[in-house]
A and B are shown apart, each in its own frame.
Chain A
Amino acid sequence: MNQFKQIFTVAGFTFRDAVRKKSFMITNIIYIVVILGACILLPRLGGGGTGMEITGMSEGVSVTEGAGFSTAVCLIINESEELAGDAGLTAVFPYTSQSYDPAQREECLKLVKSDGSYGLVEISADDPPQVTVTTKDMMSSFPVSLVWETLNTTYRAYQFGQLGYDHAQAAEVLQSALPLVTEMADPQGMSNYIAGMALMLLMFMTIYVYGYGVAMSVATEKSTRVMETLIVSAKPPRILLGKCIGMGLVGLLQLMGVLALSALGAKVFIPGGTFAGGISLPGLTVGKAVLLVAYFLMGYALFSMINSMCGAMVSKMEDLQSAMMPAALISVFSFYGGFYVTMGATMMGGNGAGAGRVIMLIPFTAPFAAPNVLLSDSVSPRTLTASIAILLVTIVLVSFISGRVYSASVLHYGSRLRFADVKRMVRGK
């Protein structure tokens, strides 16, 4: 009984110590500003510049391409007789169009280089005319395909005119198009995907920051020699466990706070229908929410144990950064592994299920991949069970090693421990 009291005493002290830190307050303020800022700005950004106007429908979403290109500027240098009548040509474009002489080409290129929304359309005097479109770079928002399509229509109308058809009628027929409505069978899929990615990022940040907090706390107690007073009061594994629990509770509290604030912000500032999916996450059930929390806790347990081992290996705070390097690399690679593989798996649909399964079976990447995988239902319950089992076994193994190293190294002062020392400690020698 006394051992539990000691663990919770350490956890309580660590918790109080962590929530009082300035860094915790500042992080909270940053989260509040970012979340509220995003909630306020997203609806405003959603309607412009992306080229996609998304309208809420009862059973799907209608996408109208082109409506968002109102900012595109088309600079035209036309030397073609077939596409003559510049006034007419500029009139058919739904964008701002300006005609230039070939001598003004350099001037046009300067404009294009300066702004991604500009495009230079050069039409040669050949028969048929050659169309060259110059944009700023790959990320330019200039609608090349739409421009090309408009020019094609105009050129075909001219050819029909040459064949004796009425030019105006031919142009009208060619410009008429079948109405296109794109519907999504899984209208909330994007919403789940975005939420999954956001959760993944949030979980990584929390696990990373509070795992690092455990290492800092251990290293501080060693460098200030509090450790020697502590270990005569409680056994080292109890101190370590209490410390991880305390710091983990702070992380969980902050994570829950961020999620609650995000939900509240979305409800207040994002009116239904303005932003894709609003705040509803049909992919999230109570069971999945519990699993998400479990994955967060398991991920935190795994990485905090690794970090505590790094913290215990140093006697001076200035050595902590270098001692933490391997742990930081494992965390970052695991996060990016989880992030890119699940992103790719989501985009590939059924074909990506294999990659999603593998990443869930690797204990270090599973906690970070879990949000996306769970929300998109991309792995089977069997894979999920195996993932949790492997993760738990790894946590037990890492905790055993960390406990050994922590217990053996708390009284080690002086130079940083080498790998050989750690191996010796794990063997209990």
Chain B
Amino acid sequence: MSLTVSNLTKRFGPKTAVDNLSFTMAEPGVYGLIGTNGAGKTTTIRMILGMLPADGGSAAWDGQPVAKGVRYGYMPEERGIYMKTKVIEQLVYFGMLRGMAKSEALQASRRWLERLRASEYENMLAEKLSKGNQQKIQLISTLIHDPQLLFLDEPFSGLDPLNTQQFHELIQEMAAAGKYIIMSSHQMSTVEEYCREITMLHRGQALLQGDLKEIKAGYGHTKLVLGAPEEAYAMARAAGLRQTEARPDENVFALPETGADALCEKLLRGMLAKNIMPAKFELSEPALHEIFIKIVGEEEGRQAA
């Protein structure tokens, strides 16, 4: 089973919202679509689901259109539930629209409400719920029919830490259960936490794609986090490292693009020779948001030129 997106293109008048986008999700897990607002993430999802007609290309689940080939769920970025309707009634309604029998939908709704610790809201009007709880109802309406393929558009926006944790556990649980999850986000830390593979979109174009670990490894070590006496920091500066951040018990140094590992080895040996035992000597790969800023910056520069 796999989701294959081939050369997907969408134009709105003179603006190309998605430009020749291709990717494949061949294994269960979480796939990240990242990018700034207006990068084309939501448009891509809508085209994959057939909600928007594509101007070019296609999206298929095992060779068939997604809307026909697989049981899927979609949680849109803009939350939408019936405010004047009881929680249980609208969940049953959405379940029945997805082909479930009424009793089956009722049973599933109650099970999910319990799972997300929202059973007490079953007979309340949605307008009486907090934003976080409304978001839970929206998530249940997406999951009620047990979809194999899930599209979550900015699933964590507006959630408090407790609800974020609940959503977090649920997504990991579903990924472990063999579900295919496409998650769009502009919060890089979130994507980094969940996604094995990503597509980085900017102005409708895929700037970076592939396995996240491999992408990060490709950038090598870009910073050194050093927790040690002041003398060690002086040695790092003397070795040509630029300090980028000062923390209470540690400092962060930027590493050069070439020869970083050799330089760090030499620095560590020098410290040990002087009997300086650092509490922390950590070589880090770049964070996803750093990669994003770098790549987007380069792209903007190229376009400006």
A interface, CB within 8 angstroms of B: 2, 5-6, 9-10, 13, 16-17, 221, 224-234, 411
- What is the chain B residue whose CB lies nearest that of A428? B53
Q: A225 — which chain B residues lie within 8 A by C-beta?
A: 76, 78-80
Closest 5 CB pairs of A and B: A225-B80, A233-B97, A226-B80, A225-B78, A228-B76
Q: B52 — which chain A residues lie within 8 A by C-beta?
A: 411
Task: Report if B215 contacts A (CB, 8 A).
Answer: no
Q: Are A229 and B80 in contact (CB under 8 A)?
A: yes
Task: Report if B49 contacts A (CB, 8 A).
Answer: yes
Given contacts A5-B99, A10-B97, A233-B98, contact A228 B49 (CB under 8 A): no
Q: Are A6 and B46 in contact (CB under 8 A)?
A: no
Q: B72 — which chain A residues lie within 8 A by C-beta?
A: 232
Flag B34-57 by CB within 8 Å of A: 1 or 0 each: 000000000000100101100000
Task: Report if B141 contacts A (CB, 8 A).
Answer: yes
Stretch at the interface among B81-89, B156-164, B275-283: B81-89
Please name 16 pairs of A and B residues whose Cβ atoms are closer than 8 Å in the assembled complex, sorted by A.
A5-B96, A6-B97, A9-B93, A9-B96, A17-B84, A224-B80, A224-B81, A226-B82, A228-B76, A228-B80, A229-B74, A229-B76, A229-B80, A229-B142, A232-B73, A232-B74
Q: B76 — which chain A residues lie within 8 A by C-beta?
A: 225, 228-229
Task: Report if B138 contacts A (CB, 8 A).
Answer: yes
- A234 touches which one: B74, B80, B97 (CB < 8 A)? B97
Q: A230 — which chain B residues lie within 8 A by C-beta?
A: 97
Q: Are B51 and A224 in contact (CB under 8 A)?
A: no
Which B83-131 residues have a C-beta within 8 angstroms of A? 83-85, 89, 93-94, 96-99
- What is the chain A residue whose CB lies nearest that of B81? A226
Instruction: Supply 13 further A-B pairs (C-beta < 8 A) apart from A224-B81, A233-B98.
Output: A9-B93, A10-B97, A17-B84, A17-B85, A221-B80, A224-B82, A228-B78, A229-B74, A229-B94, A229-B138, A232-B51, A232-B73, A411-B51
Distance A6 CA – B95 CA, assembled complex (angstroms): 11
- B49 touches which one: A9, A13, A232 (CB < 8 A)? A232
Q: A2 — which chain B residues lie within 8 A by C-beta?
A: 99
Q: B142 — which chain A residues lie within 8 A by C-beta?
A: 229
- What is the chain B residue whose CB lies nearest that of A2? B99
Q: Are B97 and A224 in contact (CB under 8 A)?
A: no
Distance A225 CA – B141 CA, assembled complex (angstroms): 14
- Looking at the assembled complex, report how far the CB atom of B43 sits from the nearest CB atom of chain A, in whole angstroms: 10
Q: B49 — which chain A residues lie within 8 A by C-beta?
A: 232
- What is the chain A residue whose CB lies nearest that of B82? A226
A-B contact count (CB 8 A): 55
Q: Are A233 and B94 in contact (CB under 8 A)?
A: yes
Among A5, A16, A225, A229, chain B packs the most CB atoms within 10 A around the CB of: A229
Main secondary structure of the interface of A (DSSP, over half): helix
- Looking at the assembled complex, report how far the CB atom of A429 sits from the nearest CB atom of chain B, in whole angstroms: 10
Q: A224 — which chain B residues lie within 8 A by C-beta?
A: 80-83
Distance A226 CA – B96 CA, assembled complex (angstroms): 16
Among A9, A231, A234, chain B packs the most CB atoms within 10 A around the CB of: A9
- What is the chain A residue whose CB lies nearest that of B49? A232
- What is the chain A residue whose CB lies nearest that of B153? A228
Q: A233 — which chain B residues lie within 8 A by C-beta?
A: 94, 97-98
Distance A224 CA – B99 CA, assembled complex (angstroms): 24
- Looking at the assembled complex, report how far the CB atom of B66 sits from the nearest CB atom of chain A, in whole angstroms: 10
- Looking at the assembled complex, report how far the CB atom of B83 sits from the nearest CB atom of chain A, in whole angstroms: 6
Q: B78 — which chain A residues lie within 8 A by C-beta?
A: 225, 228
- Looking at the assembled complex, report how far the CB atom of B223 sits from the nearest CB atom of chain A, in whole angstroms: 41
- Looking at the assembled complex, report how far the CB atom of B55 sits from the nearest CB atom of chain A, in whole angstroms: 11
Q: A6 — which chain B residues lie within 8 A by C-beta?
A: 97
Among A226, A227, A230, A411, chain B packs the most CB atoms within 10 A around the CB of: A226
Q: A228 — which chain B residues lie within 8 A by C-beta?
A: 51, 74, 76, 78, 80
Distance A28 CA – B98 CA, assembled complex (angstroms): 34
Q: B89 — which chain A residues lie within 8 A by C-beta?
A: 13, 16
- Looking at the assembled complex, report how far the CB atom of B282 sits from the nearest CB atom of chain A, in whole angstroms: 44
- What is the chain B residue whose CB lies nearest that of A222? B80
- What is the chain B residue whose CB lies nearest that of A226? B80
- Looking at the assembled complex, report how far the CB atom of B56 sits from the nearest CB atom of chain A, in whole angstroms: 15
- What is the chain B residue whose CB lies nearest that of A8? B96
- Looking at the assembled complex, report how far the CB atom of B42 sits from the nearest CB atom of chain A, in whole angstroms: 10
Among B49, B74, B82, chain A packs the most CB atoms within 10 A around the CB of: B82
Distance A234 CA – B74 CA, assembled complex (angstroms): 13
Q: B51 — which chain A residues lie within 8 A by C-beta?
A: 228, 231-232, 411
Q: B74 — which chain A residues lie within 8 A by C-beta?
A: 228-229, 232
- What is the chain A residue whose CB lies nearest that of B78? A225
- Looking at the assembled complex, report how far the CB atom of A399 sits from the nearest CB atom of chain B, in whole angstroms: 21
Distance A225 CA – B138 CA, assembled complex (angstroms): 11
- What is the chain B residue whose CB lies nearest that of A231? B51
Distance A10 CA – B98 CA, assembled complex (angstroms): 12
- What is the chain B residue whose CB lies nearest that of A225? B80
- What is the chain A residue whose CB lies nearest that of B96? A9
- What is the chain B residue whose CB lies nearest that of A242? B97
- Looking at the assembled complex, report how far the CB atom of B136 sits from the nearest CB atom of chain A, in whole angstroms: 14
Among B46, B97, B99, chain A packs the most CB atoms within 10 A around the CB of: B97
- What is the chain A residue whose CB lies nearest that of B67? A232
- Looking at the assembled complex, report how far the CB atom of B180 sits from the nearest CB atom of chain A, in whole angstroms: 16
- Looking at the assembled complex, report how far the CB atom of B75 sits from the nearest CB atom of chain A, in whole angstroms: 8
- Looking at the assembled complex, report how far the CB atom of B278 sits from the nearest CB atom of chain A, in whole angstroms: 53
Among A5, A221, A228, A411, chain B packs the most CB atoms within 10 A around the CB of: A228
Distance A2 CA – B73 CA, assembled complex (angstroms): 18
